[in-house]
Each structure stands twice: as structure tokens, then as C-alpha cells.
Chains A and B, each alone.
Chain A
Amino acid sequence: MTTSRLSSGGAEIDRSSKISFKWNGKTVNGFEGDTIVSALAGSGHQLVSRSMKYHRKRGLLTADYWDPNCFVQVGDEPNVRAGHRKATNGMDISAQNVWPSLERDMKSANGLVGRFLTPGFYYKTFVRPQFLWPTYQKVLRTFAPGGAVDHQSQPLYFDKRYTHPDVVVAGAGPAGLAAATAAAEAGASVLLVEHDHAVGGHLRWGSDADRDEAARLEAAALAAGVEIMTDATVTGRYDHNWVSINQRSLHASVERLVKARAKVLVVAAGLVERPYVFAGNDALGVMTAGAARRLINLWGVKPGTTAVAMVANEHGDAAVADLEAAGVSVTSVVDGRNGEFVSSTTASKGALSSVTLGDGSTVDADLLITAVGWTAPTSLLNMAGDRPAYDETAARFFPTKLPPEVIPVGGLVGDGSTAQIIEHAAGVGRVAGATGISARRQLQAATTRAAVVDGAEPAIPAMPEPLGRDPHPELYRSDTHGMVDYSEDVSSKDLVAASKEGYDSVELMKRFTTVTMGPSQGKLETVNAVAVLAEARGETIEEVGTTVWRPPYAPISLGALGGRIFEPERVSPIHPWHEANGVTTILAGQWIRPDHYGDAQAEVTNVRNNVGIIDVTPLGKLDLRGPDVPKLLNLLYTNKWSKLAIGSVRYGVMCAEDGVVLDDGVTAHLGEDHYLMTTTSSGAAAIWEWAENWLQTERPHWQVHVTPVTTAYASINIAGPKSRELLSRLTDVDLANEAFGYMRVRTGTIGGVDDCIMWRIGFTGELSYEIHVPSGYALHVWEHLMSEGADLGIGAFGLEAQRIMRLEKGHFIVGQDTDGLTKAPTAGIGGLIKLDKDDFVGKTELSTLDVASLPVLVALQPVDGSVVPEEAAQIVLPDSNDIIGRITSSRFSPTLNRSVCLGQVEPSHAAAGNIVTVLLFSGERIPATVMEHHAHFDPEGARLRG
């Protein structure tokens, strides 16, 4: 065993609390506080995965969140970061994408054909022949990386939260902690976000003094009132400091997406240790110096027995000291500051066995640690518009230009002792705090409902003196080629080859080779890739530049993005009755509506013979008040409204400015300066906004109040020859035809409920009354109607029956029989377009239309009445598939015992009696007759007006 558990040490494990879990079916023991990787390493398990393309044996590299080859399946959860996830008792963990096992993975045969799996091979292979694509898909799927999705998994509980802190600090290392505390002490509300499970950053795996300092910093932050989130990642910074945070390890939910509007964002992301590129740099037992320090100091794990160390900074020196204190024999220290380097490794069965140094000598070892430098994870700053610049002396990128509300701190901006970093960060924190408070006060002052701003405006201190930058050797690639992107299996040789093929800009190289496109999103790979490309092009790193970083900073689960999935549902007050009476509902927009109660055809017949009632509550209803309402009606509708008498109702069509049909409905003149407009159900909200738009932006001097009352009333349509008889049993309003004729409106009491509105209109073509009953009492009235109508043969009917009946009568539905291009004359309402009116919406286009060239909406009847064409079936020329129209509505009519349709056809084919060809979805072509009227049934409308 190379790796093993030390008998003492490990700041984060609790040796008194043992845990055990399954790893590929075998039991592994560990301690509370272990990550999955540290527990595996502590038990001597080095092999964790197989690489993506070549299925090479892989193990830990960084022993932290970014570890590129430590993704495992935990139960039904795929792609778990084993370097970050805490191990718990009873976990069932397995390797991903291996067959038949991790040890004996047959897919490693990929390695043998590596020559043919050059970068971008998928652009060049698996292309022809095209008929094999489904096979290629199956093959490629089995080789795709990533874990398994269990389709039987139960959905988990994810949620969201909004927050408005004055300051968000991303990263809780010493700089982040100090900045957060200083900002909070200045009076700002502060949210501190740390992606690891504990705060303290690199102090946690440092010396005892470092750990004490971390504890002190944490206590100070808590005392100052900082809200701290651990196991949470700032995943993106958007416009105006809209910041997304993916928070885990909550009791209330599996993961939470926190959306923060931060006045100030302080980025304290620290530095990420960069791997070194050399041949065999992915052998088991090769790791960063930080990995070794974490294993020893956090989890009490001995990383190996015999080690070679390549170090180029103090952190590397400290790692060597930690190794020696842990009993590892460090046989060779290669100092990058003196130009020494590691050239290659040899491995036995994937595990490191010896290291060849730059001077040619070879050393036996089972552990190789590297400390060759740091990468600044500037992604969040990039998202704020920064384009970092490379500093050759310090061998890393630094931020250049940021908006004042985004402030980097700590390792991102310079180097220093812990005390210097803390002091600088505290100074930044004071600036951030004061800036945040000032921004909050401005927001308060600009917000009508907010509390009055009091107290003095805080003085914003000057930024502290910048931190210095320590020189560091530039160490990217050795004299051999090795892995650059471990998770995508992209080597430096691949990058050079891509460059030679012409993909020699950093953006092209990235997309062609997929380097940096894996789970660490460039944190470990970008700078090495840029350095290799610079070398291949004979340029500097600064000249080559970097790619653009976009959110998310780290991968985020779809569950977190989905959250609670708020999909509002709307129901009418009569819904409980529908549910209790066998309704089949349909979702129309957000409304749950009754579609039928078992037999729509029977419902139609019952309405035509007796009486039926339908709940049409979603019908848009707008209350219009004011002396200028007729002007509004004349503006929005194409027809004339000035002379509509009180108590009368008129039908109108609205067009958009381009003459396309927008909506239709009936509007009633209820009283002086009082009208009630109806719209289509789906148009209710849009037409309200449409009216407001015209009133506010073009006609602000008109005195009109438009108020939606769609849900103030339940709307019930009572239809059928016995409807008058039925309604008269519930109201004292005189319903005789002479007193209350077609297209009239009345108000009164129905079933004991005052303030109801009754309309005589007729979408179904039967004698019918549409009653609007105040919602709080509507269910009573519906039930009353049902009981009073029992001897009349009453039956409830739903949308499907209504659609059949309106189609029998040829009444078009906006959005069904018209579309986004249908101009008003097409719908057959040419008579409603009054071009002699003053300006109305659409007049200009309508007056210039060549009406004769427009498609015509016609009624159609398939010659074979038993065939019901599908809606949207195309109408074609008899001898070809040239389209001359389409079926817009189609049903079987129980009243006529045959199919009936509406459709749009080109004018040359729209003559009554013309036979057209309908192309059904099956490919069958059937003849259909163009009818004289839109109405298939009762074209004179005698039943309506009786």
C-alpha cells in the first residue's frame, strides 16, 4: 500500500467516530470528517477512476474540490466530487464509466488506438455513412464519461432564496474572512460564501499557528454578524452584481440556489495550485504539494512511502517538511528556483515507480509532489468585464480593470505574509462596507416605499496600499509532453498538433481539443494550455491571451436551477363541482378548465335539444369607466361604438398596427360612462396591457379607467332551447324576447346573488345567456342551476362540446383559425372594418390592403363525412403537394352526423362549391367542399335570436 492512515494527526477527522462505506462492492473504513478521497487513500486505495478518452488509470491529484479524476457514483447520484464530498456511513460508492470493473476496464483498449483518437477525432470520424448514425450514437454513449442516471430515482427537494446583502464575499480564506469582518464592522450586511466545508482557506492545512489564526478569523467574523455559508459556491456574477450561489449541505433542501443582489462583490477566490506538465504526470502517486499537505494535515493520511519533490516556492518547502514529519522518505528535492525540474516518470500497472529528473538521473519513488506555481481563478472578475494581464515576474495573471462594485482581494491581487494579506483585506473590507452602505442608502432614497434615509452618509475610505508581488519561476511544461487537461484527456502534444492543424488561437484550440471544458473549467488547465500554445507559436503568454470565462464558475445541478418549479395554476370557483362530477380537465394557459365530463358528443346533443351549462370563467373581462370610453373602443376595435345604447352589446375585432387580428370579443354598455369588455380567455392579460399601453403612451388625456374583473365573476354560459325557461326560475329579470333580445345585457339578482350580469350572446349558436356571478357565491348559483334544471334535462358541458358547437356555427377562434399573419379581412369580418372612422389601430395597413389577394377563411366539409381531417392538415393542389391552405379547425359534428371544418385557402380556390384536396397526416389525400357560409348548421341564426 502506497497511501495509508497515520496513527495520529488530521485536524478534520474525528478518530473516535468510525464510518464505513462500500467502494465498488468492497468495504472501506474511515472516520467522520474524511472526504471520500481521503478515506480511500487512508485505506490504501489509490485507483479512483479511468480517464475519459484513453481510460488510463487515475487517482487523486489535488485532494480538493478541483480534483479532476475523482468523480464517482454515490448511490443514484452521478458525478460526485470525491475530493470534496464528505464520506458518510453506509454510502454505496462506485467508479464511473468502467467495464467490467475499475481494475480491469476493457475500455482501456482505447489507449491502444490512441493514435487514431487524436484531438477532434469526433469531427473527422463517425460521419459517414449517415445511416450508421444511430449505431455510432449507441457506441459513443457507452464511452461517454460521467455516471449513470437512475430513471427510477425519486425527485428531490431543491429550492431557491433571494437575498440583498450590502456585501457578498466569495471565498473564506484569510483575505475573505478579514474583508467580510471589516465590512460588517463598518455596519454593512455581509454574506460570506465558501465552497469548502469549513472556512480558513489554506490556513487549514498549514501550521498549528495557521490553524489558530483561522479559528480567530472565523470567530471575529461571526462576532461581527457576518452570515457564513459553507459548502456553497458563487457560480456567477451577472449585470449589476446579480450573484448566483449554489448552496449545499442544508437541512431544508438538497441544494439551494441563492440569488443575491449584492451592492458590492468582493472576490477572495485565492489561488489554485497548478500541476506540472511532463510525461507520466498522471501516474498514480503524482500529486500537487497541496494535496500532500491536505492529506497529512486535514485527514491524517500518509500520501506515500518514498517521495521525490519538485518545489519552486515556500509552500513546496513546507510540504516537504510535512512529508518528513509524517514519516515519508523524501529522497530527492528538485528545486525549480534553481532551474531543476522533473522530466518524466515510469509506472508499474499505472502506479508511479520511478522519476527521471532533468539532469538525466532516475530516482525510485512511489510519490511525486509538485509545487510549480499558482493560477489566479479570476473567472468571477472576468464575468464583471475584466481581462486579466499576465505578469512574467510573478508567473501568473492579475486583474486589470473592474467596475467599482467588484473588488478582488487576497492572492488574486498580490502576495505577502498572512498578516499582510489580512491587513490589506481588512482595508478592502472597509471600502466595500462603506460603498455597500452608501449604495443601499441611494437605493432607499430612490424607492418610494422604503424607510426615510437617516444618519450620516458614510465616508468611503481610500483603498489600502496594494500588496506586493513575489517573483516566481515560470514552470509550465517540462522537456517532455504530458497531460494538460486530466478530465478531458488532452495532452500538450494534442495542443501542439491542434495548433499545427490551424487551430492556433486560444479560442479555437479550446473548442477543437476541448481543453479546459471539463468540470474544473480551466482552473487547473488554462494557463498550462496557454503556455503550450505560446511556445508552439513562438509568442508570449500575454500575446496568446486566455479564453472568456462565463458562468457557471463550477458545474451546478439541474435540480438547483429548477428549484421548486413554480407553475401557477388557476381555477374557477366552480372547480370543486367539476372535480366531484367526473370532469376531464385541460390546461389552457395557466387555467385548469373542464374539457368534458365523459362524452363530449352527447353533451353537444343535449345542449341542442335541452339545456346545458358551461363554466367559462377565464373569459377576459375588463371594466371600463369614464367619459372617454367610446373613444377607446373606437380606437381599439375596427368597428364603430359611439352609438351603442345602454343595455346593448356589440361584437368587435381588434387588430394590431399591422392589420393582423389581435383579439375579439363582445362589449356591453352597462350604464353611464360604464362598459364591460370581454376578450378571449388567452388574451385577457394581453388586451388589458394593450389598452393601458394606448391610454398611457398615446392618449394620456383621455379619462378612462380600465380594470380587469376576469376573476371577480364566475362566467357561466346557459345554452339550449330551454335556457330561458331555466334561467327564469332563478331570476326576476324579464327574459322575454321583447324585453331582453339578442345582443343585449341586463343586471340583476340570480339565485339570491345580487349584482350579477346577464348577456344574450351565442357562441354555440343556441339560445343562450351568459351570466356573470360574483365569485364568492358562484358555486351556489351553479349548483342551483343544476338542481333547478334537472327536469329540463340539464347537463354540464365542457370546452370540447363548446368547440364542436361553435364550429358547427362557423364561429372562428382568434389564434386557432387566425394566426400571426392573418389580416382582418381574411377572417370574414370585412364588414366590421370601418375605414371611414377616425384613426384606429390597424387602419393604415387595412386601408392599403389588396383584400382580393388575401387568404380566405372558409367552411369546409370533407366529401366523405366520416373522415375528420387533423387540424393543421395542409390543403394542396390536386396534382401536387403545393400548399394552397390548411385546415384550422376540425371536428365530427353529432348534430349533422358528419365532419365539419374551418380552413384558410388562397382566394382563387375559395369559391363556394369548389372541391379542394386535403393532405392528411397519413399521406392520404381526400376531397373537401368549400361551403357557402361559415355556419354548417342554422346559418340564418334562428335559434340564437328566438
Chain B
Amino acid sequence: MADQLAFQSPVRSADVNEGPLTLVDLTATSSQTLVRGAESGLTPSFGHATRRDDGVLAAATRPDEWTLIGPLGDAGTIASSVTSEGFVTVIDQTHSRARFRLAGDTAAQALEKVCSIDLGDHMTPNGAVVSASVAKVTCDVLRDDVNSTRSYLVICDRSFADYLFSALSDAGAEFGLR
């Protein structure tokens, strides 16, 4: 029945998806599942993310914790695909998180105005995952380049989403956002 109801994103500003730098809200079109426990046997190792064959993005966001991002509605399928041997907890985070994509050649320059992490290729290469404060909100940041264009997935707690989207738009304004 819930399929008939529209999933509401917390972001009230419009996406900026034209121009050299884009900021798009993916919250309402993606699912997010948290898997905790080394005995889940999941990969990759802490600090890295890979795209699985089924299209799910598996990010090792904390030691022995993985964040799996897939299409909206698939959280259940993803959860049951995780082995339940040993002490493993699976929690649906689709509703408790917002997910944005910041993409463009200047994406790192925009992000470094609001985030103190070294985003250079040495320290945060493509596929790197880091938890950091972005505009004073703790987020998971995944570098997930698309067609060789710099791109970041920014994941934050749902309640901060509208504020964070505005803060990112503001930071990117000088590079063509907004």
C-alpha cells in the first residue's frame, strides 16, 4: 500500500542540474540499508566503496559497517541478501537519511568551502568514503566519479537535509550552482 503513497524528500529547494556544477537530491529515488557486523562478510574494507554487479553501491562507512545504496523500494531485497550468520544487524536507513549528488569539475572546490577533509586525489581518490562535518553537519561523503567527472555523494541525517542542500548551493554559487 505504501507504494501508492509518494515518498517525500525533506529537501524543499529545487535541484540544480544544468550548468558546470550540479546538485541533485536523490533521497526520494534511492534506498539505503545499514549492515553492521564483521560476520556479515561484506566488502570492501573501511574507507572504500564499490559498485556491485547488481548496481548497488556498497560503501564501508565505518569499521565493520556498510552502507548499501540502491533504488527506492529495494531495501528489503538488499537486506535479505545479507547473510544472517553470526551477530549481524540490518537496518533500513532509507527514511532516516538524505542523499545528494554534487557533480562537476569544480565539485571538490565547492565542497572544500564547507568541509575540512583533504579532497585531493591522493587523500580522497575515486571510490573513497569518509565521514566528515559538512557545513557543521556530520555526513558520509563518497567520491563516486561519473564518466571521469568529479562527483560526490553526500549523505546526511534527514532532518538536516533542507539546511544542508542550501548550504551546499551557497558554497557552489561561485562555481555556477544556483
Contact = CB atoms under 8 A, between A and B. Distances in A.
B125 interface: yes
B95 A566 contact: no
Contacts of B37: 705
Contacts of A570: 157, 159-160, 163
A777 B7 contact: yes
Interface in A178-217: 189
A752 B2 contact: yes
A568 B96 contact: no
Contact of B2 (A252, A444, A623, A754): A754
A776 B94 contact: yes
Contacts of B47: 447-450
B130 A449 contact: yes
Interface string B149-178: 000000001111011100100110110000
A642 to B, nearest CB: 20
A302 B10 CA distance: 65
A777 B159 contact: no
A252 B164 contact: no
A572 B159 contact: yes
Interface string B101-137: 0000000000011111110111111001110000111
Contacts of A444: 122-123
A187 to B, nearest CB: 12
A631 interface: no
A448 B130 CA distance: 9
B28 interface: yes
A451 B121 contact: yes
Interface string A546-582: 0000000000000000001011111111001000000
B113 A159 contact: yes
Interface string A647-663: 00000000000000000
Interface stretch (B16-24, B50-58, B85-93): B85-93
B8 A776 contact: yes
A161 interface: yes
Contacts, number: 147
A712 B92 contact: yes
Contacts of B8: 573, 775-780
A591 interface: yes
A626 B90 CA distance: 12
Given A749-B1, A753-B2, A162 B174 contact: no
B80 interface: no
Given A448-B46, A451-B125, A709 B91 contact: yes
A79 to B, nearest CB: 27
A440 interface: yes
A753 B122 contact: no
A219 B96 CA distance: 52
A251 interface: yes
A88 interface: no
A568 B89 contact: no
A568 B125 contact: no
Given A162-B116, A573-B10, A711 B124 contact: no
A774 B95 contact: yes
Nearest to A712: B96
Contacts of B163: 568-570
B125 A450 contact: yes
Given A164-B120, A749-B1, A777-B2, A707 B34 contact: yes
Contacts of A576: 12
B36 A775 contact: no
B121 to A, nearest CB: 7
A81 interface: no
Given A711-B159, A777-B5, A161 B113 contact: yes
B48 interface: yes
B4 interface: yes
Interface in A667-720: 703, 705, 707-713
Contacts of A162: 112-113, 115-117
Nearest to B158: A711
Nearest to A452: B125
30 contacts: A189-B120, A251-B174, A448-B45, A449-B47, A449-B129, A450-B128, A451-B121, A451-B123, A566-B114, A566-B167, A567-B136, A569-B163, A570-B159, A573-B158, A576-B12, A625-B89, A626-B87, A626-B89, A627-B87, A703-B87, A708-B96, A710-B96, A712-B92, A712-B158, A753-B1, A754-B1, A754-B2, A774-B95, A775-B10, A777-B5
Interface of A: 159-164, 189, 251-253, 259, 261, 440, 443-444, 447-451, 564, 566-573, 576, 591, 617-618, 623, 625-627, 703, 705, 707-713, 749, 752-754, 774-780
